[in-house]
Amino acid sequence: MAKATDATLITSAGRSRTLDLEERQRRYLITMGVRTACFLAFLVVPGWWKIAALAAAALLPAFAVLFANNADHRPPPPVRPDEPARPAISGGQIVPGSVEEGE
């Protein structure tokens, strides 16, 4: 039988795949938006700023991919010592109930 402390709590679970994918897409689109702004800035800025804008536009795709592929490395929330232990449901235990569909 597993100990209650070995149970995974929903509060310590990672993000869902959908939320993770949305966040990665948002980071990628923001980075590509900045890249587009760098190309537009290249057309209007004077002097050495043109080289800086072009270099940023050339390097941003690599960073965009790195940021988009970055996994969620946040640690689970700490357990407060004053919080009572939550009981765990073992694999063989059945919880009676019913599912109610909303409108």
User: Scanning the structure block, which residue is given the tokens 């599912």?
Assistant: 99
DSSP state, residue 11: G
Mean pLDDT within 67-86: 67
Determine which of 1-5, 54-58, 67-71 has the lowest per-residue pLDDT on average: 1-5
CA–CA gap between residue 44 and residue 22 (Å, rounded)? 33
CA atoms within 13 A on the CB side of 89: 8
For residue 81, pLDDT over 90 is answered with: no
Domain of residue 38: give its range: 16-69
Q: Give the tens place of pLDDT for each residue, 23-41.
A: 888 888 888 899 999 999 9
Q: How many domains does the chain have?
A: 1
Instruction: Say if residue 6's pLDDT is above 80.
Output: no
Is residue 50 one of the residues assigned to a domain? yes
- Map tokens 């002097």 to a residue: 47
Q: Which two tokens stand for residue 62?
A: 């690599």
For the chain, report the end-to-end CA distance as a whole number of angstroms. Answer: 40
Q: Residue 77 — pLDDT band, cuts 50, 70, 90? A: low
* pLDDT greater at residue 76 or residue 95: 95
Residue 85 lies in a domain: no
Residue 34 located in a structural domain? yes
How does residue 2 score in pLDDT terms, banded at 50, 70 and 90?
A: very low
Q: Please indicate, yes or no, if residue 6 is contained in any of the structural domains.
A: no
Q: Would you say residue 82 lies in a domain? A: no
Answer yes or no: is 96 within a domain.
Answer: no
On whether residue 95 sits in a domain, the answer given is no
Indicate whether 57 belongs to any domain: yes
**Is-contact 17 62, C-beta < 8 A?**
no
